[in-house]
Amino acid sequence: MAHGLLGKKVGMTQVFDQEGNQVPVTVLEMAPNTVVQVKTAEGKDGYNAVKIGTDAVDPKLLNRPEAGVFHRAGTDALRHVREFRLSDDEVGNYNAGDKLAVDVFTPGQKVDVTGTSKGRGFAGVVKRHGFKGAKEMTHGTHEYKRHAGSIGCSAYPARVIKGKRMAGQMGVDRVTVRGLKVVAVYLEDNLLLVKGAIPGPKNGLVVAQASAKS
């Protein structure tokens, strides 16, 4: 249950592995994260966790309660902060002000990466849910190319079932991709190379942590 790290998505490229296979990788830049607060089960919080953040920001941009967190920790004000639950024996390893680098991950390890997917705006059912659209484009079909078809029955139940897939906002969701393999870790450049794609735009905030299903 060790902590994860916050970073940003740089982009994708490919590397060759030892056998010479091409491996698609996403590059994540994870500048050292700062421990902002440690919560303990014995303390007033009642549970074990570590709060870490990244990306220094002018404290004037924060409101008073937010700024107070960093003032108490004696660290820079940070733009992004996340909390990770810890087990009893791990809490002792963290102190406010500690820097956490990418070397918490090792090549070969599986990680879960959370990001915010790219926004697609108000999308129709074909794009949003993969509906097939109209079966045929001729024989009298009119203005039906990307429509959804029937959305339910008639007199009974006389309403549309909740959760019926329809057009609407697509993207800008919190998405976690599980079980991605760490391909390489570059400690000096704070880079983490992960096999496969990761949700979100370039420069988007991502959170990587050891896979929950390893």
Partner 1 sequence: MSSISIIENLDSLETRQDIPEFRAGDTLRVHVRIREGEKERVQVFEGTCISRHNNGVRSTFTVRKLSYGVGVERVFPLHSPRLATIEVKDRGRVRRSRLYYLRERIGKAARVRNLRDVHGGGRSRS
What does the binding site for partner 1 look like in residue numbers (CB under 8 A)?
Answer: 10-11, 13-16, 19-20, 22, 27, 29, 189, 191, 193, 202-203
Is the distance from CB of 188 to CB of 32 less than 8 angstroms? no
Nearer to partner 1, 14 or 150 (CB): 14
Total Cβ atoms within 10 A of residue 117:
16
Least Å distance, CB 78 to partner 1, is: 20
Least Å distance, CB 187 to partner 1, is: 14
Nearer to partner 1, 15 or 56 (CB): 15
Least Å distance, CB 13 to partner 1, is: 5
Least Å distance, CB 31 to partner 1, is: 11
CA distance 181 to 132: 34
Nearer to partner 1, 87 or 203 (CB): 203
Instruction: Identify residue 4 by its one-letter amino acid code.
Output: G
Nearer to partner 1, 80 or 129 (CB): 80
SS3 8: strand
Give the rounded distance of the alpha carbon of 71 from its chain centre.
Answer: 27
CA distance 92 to 86: 10
Q: What contacts 198, CB < 8 A, 6 or more positions away?
A: 9, 26, 28, 113, 115, 177, 180, 206
Nearer to partner 1, 15 or 210 (CB): 15
Least Å distance, CB 139 to partner 1, is: 39
Is the distance from CB of 78 to CB of 97 less than 8 angstroms? no
Tokens of 112: 């879960």
